[in-house]
Structure 1
Amino acid sequence: MQRLSGLDASFLYLETRSQLMHVIGLIEIDPSTVPGGYSFPRMRSELERRVSAIPTFRRKLDNSLLNIDHPVWIEDDDFDIERHVHRVAVPAPGGEREVADLCGHLAGQTLDRGKPLWELWFIEGLADGKIAVMLRVHHANVDGVTSAEMLAQLCTMTPEPPDLDSQQVAESAGGTSRATMAVGGAVNYFVQRPIAMAKLLPRTLDISVGWLRRSFSNTGMPAPFRAPRTRFNAPISPHRSIAITQVSLDDVKRVKNRFGVTVNDVVLALAGGALRSYLEDKDELPDRPLVGMVPVSVHGLDEKDLVVPGTNKVSGMFTLLPTDRPDPVERVEAAAELSRRSKAHHAEIDGNILRAWAQFAPGTTMANLMKLYGDRNLAASHPPVFNVLISNVPGPDFPLYFLGARVSAVYPLGPIFHGLGLNITVFSADGHLNIGILSCADHAPDVSVIANGFADQLKVLLEVCEA
């Protein structure tokens, strides 16, 4: 039995029928490289073998009415691969649009909390003969770094099936004990929480005062609730729109080297340009820069005396996006300067503060408040916290094979929230920058326009490099 951290559990409490808290990996594979040829039953059997060495995929939630703390993970003794792995075919002609529509439909479905919180779909019938694999995992189970590590466990550098790690096979979340769960939860709630609160309050006060001072002097991250309103900042429904695109990582690095910035700066500039073009075409471009929230991994960060265990080890950095700059070169330079300013500010903040405060998340109360917030459309009654969530996750720069099939692309897709209905996630792998965009179909059914904007913006910057 392993208790969830407050941050991991918060993704459960935040989830409603409209606000779905799972992350998605859309993998394009070439079935012609599979030893012995592609066969869905054979692929599912090999996946079952590999899952036996991935403890995260074998654990499920458990809770008790007497437990006043967060739920726990336990081993699923009735694990059945057929309840998690499915196959489906896209309608003709099997192009990118058909794949995106199907994935958007699947992305809008909740995961069954009575079994391990993941599922995988083999999507056949693509026009180019390839197969798409859609993996959905609840955010309580993974963050950006752990999802990349999970991909590494499912993929190999050669088509041949790997040997399994015997320690991972033997690892178990354990069984359940209602008494232990209740007593441990009471100790955490009544003893450890007050001590942690006493330590957190003075640190948090210092951070808040410093943030406000920096924000109003324009020397740090923008403060929450100061973003301009866009069509993405509205209450959301369960309907999802998805778009994917791929650009050359070498081209991105050419721009990076030309302007003396980082890859992440170029990504922010491309996103700012694509969003500017999208909103400008709809005559909805705000006169102020949009505000992006960039998740920052705190894996390996010294946790000092804060008790913050769990899978999700992430903080967040706010930064302005140069959507107010019409010139692409100015956008790159501005994105780099704004990012440097935000990074310097974020570096002064203890990265574990968010995780530490999440330990106090009240489960039932938080879930009911979130449902009320969504049902009453309260996201429309206050300024947006930020406009868009932008993640950049580095991956392996060499070829990968998924169950023996050569991987041609890996597109990540993150969750959206009421009032924060646009997520852009970037994953670099094998010489490409893979970009996944997810939004609410009721507000932005045409996010493919934003995806195309990345290539358009990069093309303009490459022309500047050549000149």
Structure 2
Amino acid sequence: MQRLSGLDASFLYLETSTQLLHVCGLIVLDTSTVPGGYSYGRLKEELGIRTEAIPSFRRKLQDSRFNLDHPVWVDDADFDIDRHCHRVAVPAPGGREELAELCGNIAGQPLDRARPLWEMWVIEGLDDGSVAVMSKMHHAGVDGVTGASMIAQLCSLEPDSPRPDPADSAQGAGGASSLEIAVGGLLSVASRPVKLLQIIPRSVGLLPRWIDRARRGDAMPAPFTAPRTSLNGTLTSHRTIAFTQLDFDLVKQVKNAFGVKVNDVVLALCSGALRTYLDTRRELPDKSLVAIVPVSVRGKSDRPGTNQVSGMFTELGSDIEDPAERLLAIAEHNSTSKEHNETLGATLLQDWSQFIGQSVFGAAMRLYSTLGLAERHPVVHNLVISNVPGPTDPLYFLGALIKAMYPMGPIFHGAGLNVTVMSLNGQLDIGLMSCPELAPQLWDLADAFPDALDELAKAAVTRA
């Protein structure tokens, strides 16, 4: 068995019927490249063979009523690909709106915790003859890096790649009895007081140092200081998605012209699109929007667990009209926030999350959701923005050429928009996830991204 870390388990405890914490991805495929031709049966068979050799696809949750610690992963002895791979057709005429509506319905359904926490929906009937695959993986089992890695293990650089040898697969989670889970949990909980004494001295001075940095002007934005917009409310169980694709070479031209980083340009694209979206609705705040950006701590943290991340708050410069000034301001904010985040320590979030208890934390989250408390306190942050680097070469998913791969992360009460970006084969694929009650016209936001890139590209030419 493999016990979940506190951070991994927190995504289970945070989940409610309206705050679903799985990570989604929409892959659009050109099936003409599949050796021997495409059929759903052949794709499902290939998926089943490959997932059998990848232990992360075959592990499920297990717990004991006497367990005082977090649940554990065990191998699913009854793993069946038919429980995880499904087939559906998009309604006519099969355009992007129909595809997005169908995927939003899929994203709004919880995963079955009695089985390995993932699903794939093969979607046929698209108007251009493509086939799409909508994937769902619970955040307890993946972060941005591991989720991309699991999908990558189903991909190849050639359409006809050899199948993996099950003998070469990594060791699985194993099994566990209720007694083993309970005893292991008791021993882990018994060591917590010692761990608490270790992290309190490192944490007690964080607030004074944060205040001191803020006075000097080199602190990232503090939580609860973001302006409120229509995107910052209580979620329902419904989900809406949208997506768009940009020229990654043009993004890099902007990066080079201004001497900034790709992530700075990505945030500037989000800022420009949000300015247009909110201004059209006459709700653009005078104060800058604040985003939280997941930061990988792989290689910096020695703590166990799948989720190896921390969070960085940064301003989006949405109060700045000029796109060039906005991009440079974002780059400066990012530099400050990154340096400040690093001073907090790579393991701070992981260490404190170990003390999260399921019974208390889960009940508190359900009460928070039921009472709509996200609308009764200052906004913690406006949205989540994540940037996942992808391969620069063409990629094939089970033999089919990938035309686009739109990642979509979860949304939270009070921050009902997630923008996740992935670069792939010269394109920048952007996936948006929200709640239709908060963003009924999410396509307006998606369609604002190309214009945001155009204005940055024009500013880059002027600068050159």
More divergent stretch after superposition (369-378 vs 177-186): 177-186
Name the residue aligned to 1:262: 261
Please state if 1:457 is matched with 2:452.
yes
Name the residue aligned to 2:148: 148
Please state if 1:360 is matched with 2:350.
no
Letter of the 1:134 counterpart: M
**Count of aligned pairs between the two proteins:** 462
**How far is 1:142 from its partner?**
0.3
SS at 2:344 equivalent? coil
Letter of the 1:310 counterpart: G
Please report the TM-score for the alignment, with normalisation by the length of structure 2.
0.98
Name the CA distance, whole Å, in 1 between partners of 2:459 and 2:293: 27
Name the CA distance, whole Å, in 1 between partners of 2:64 and 2:133: 35
Please state if 1:223 is matched with 2:222.
yes
**How far is 1:383 from its partner?**
0.4
Name the residue aligned to 1:23: 23
Name the residue aligned to 2:36: 36
Pair 162,211 (structure 1): closer, same or farther in 2 beyond 3 Å: farther
Contact 1:225–1:384 (Cα < 8 Å) also in 2: yes
Name the residue aligned to 1:128: 128
Name the residue aligned to 2:312: 317
Name the CA distance, whole Å, in 2 between partners of 1:216 and 1:242: 40
Pair 90,163 (structure 1): closer, same or farther in 2 beyond 3 Å: closer
User: What does residue range 239-254 of structure 1 map to in structure 2 within 5 Å?
Assistant: 239-254=238-253
Please state if 1:330 is matched with 2:325.
yes
Pair 419,110 (structure 1): closer, same or farther in 2 beyond 3 Å: same
Letter of the 1:169 counterpart: S
Contact 2:297–2:308 (Cα < 8 Å) also in 1: yes
**How far is 1:463 from its partner?**
2.1
Name the residue aligned to 2:384: 389
Name the CA distance, whole Å, in 2 between partners of 1:26 and 1:295: 20
More divergent stretch after superposition (173-182 vs 400-409): 173-182
**How far is 1:437 from its partner?**
0.6
Name the residue aligned to 2:272: 273
RMSD: 1.1
Name the residue aligned to 2:422: 427
**How far is 1:148 from its partner?**
1.4
Name the residue aligned to 1:369: 364
Please state if 1:466 is matched with 2:452.
no
Contact 1:44–1:85 (Cα < 8 Å) also in 2: yes
Name the residue aligned to 2:86: 86
Name the residue aligned to 1:180: 180
Please state if 1:293 is matched with 2:268.
no
**How far is 1:413 from its partner?**
0.3
Name the residue aligned to 1:203: 202
Name the CA distance, whole Å, in 2 between partners of 1:161 and 1:268: 36
Name the residue aligned to 1:10: 10
Pair 335,164 (structure 1): closer, same or farther in 2 beyond 3 Å: same
SS at 1:77 equivalent? coil
More divergent stretch after superposition (210-219 vs 348-357): 210-219
**How far is 1:97 from its partner?**
0.5
Name the CA distance, whole Å, in 1 between partners of 2:228 and 2:134: 32
Letter of the 1:373 counterpart: Y
Please report the TM-score for the alignment, with normalisation by the length of structure 1.
0.97
SS at 2:172 equivalent? coil
Residue of 391, 397, 401 corresponding to 2:396: 401
Pair 155,321 (structure 1): closer, same or farther in 2 beyond 3 Å: same
Offset from partner CA, 1:371-395 (integer Å, 9 cap, x none): 0000011111100111110000101
**How far is 1:213 from its partner?**
2.1
Letter of the 1:319 counterpart: T
Name the CA distance, whole Å, in 2 between partners of 1:253 and 1:413: 23
Pair 120,395 (structure 1): closer, same or farther in 2 beyond 3 Å: same
Contact 1:142–1:311 (Cα < 8 Å) also in 2: yes
Name the CA distance, whole Å, in 1 between partners of 2:453 and 2:45: 42
SS at 2:129 equivalent? coil
SS at 1:457 equivalent? helix
Q: Give percent identity, aligned residues only.
A: 55
Letter of the 1:334 counterpart: A
Name the CA distance, whole Å, in 2 between partners of 1:27 and 1:231: 29
Q: Which runs of 5+ in 2 are unaligned?
A: none
**How far is 1:465 from its partner?**
2.9
SS at 1:266 equivalent? helix
Name the CA distance, whole Å, in 1 between partners of 2:164 and 2:461: 48
**How far is 1:445 from its partner?**
1.6
**How far is 1:82 from its partner?**
0.4
SS at 1:426 equivalent? strand
**How far is 1:172 from its partner?**
1.8
**How far is 1:216 from its partner?**
4.2
Offset from partner CA, 1:97-147 (integer Å, 9 cap, x none): 111100111100000001000000001111111111001000001001101
Offset from partner CA, 1:35-80 (integer Å, 9 cap, x none): 0100001100000000011111101110111001000111100111
**How far is 1:450 from its partner?**
1.3
Residue of 432, 441, 462 corresponding to 1:437: 432
SS at 2:388 equivalent? strand
Pair 33,419 (structure 1): closer, same or farther in 2 beyond 3 Å: same
Please state if 1:111 is matched with 2:111.
yes
Name the residue aligned to 1:100: 100
More divergent stretch after superposition (203-212 vs 284-293): 203-212
Name the CA distance, whole Å, in 1 between partners of 2:178 and 2:437: 43
Name the CA distance, whole Å, in 1 between partners of 2:460 and 2:227: 32
SS at 1:348 equivalent? helix
Q: Which runs of 5+ in 1 are unaligned?
A: none
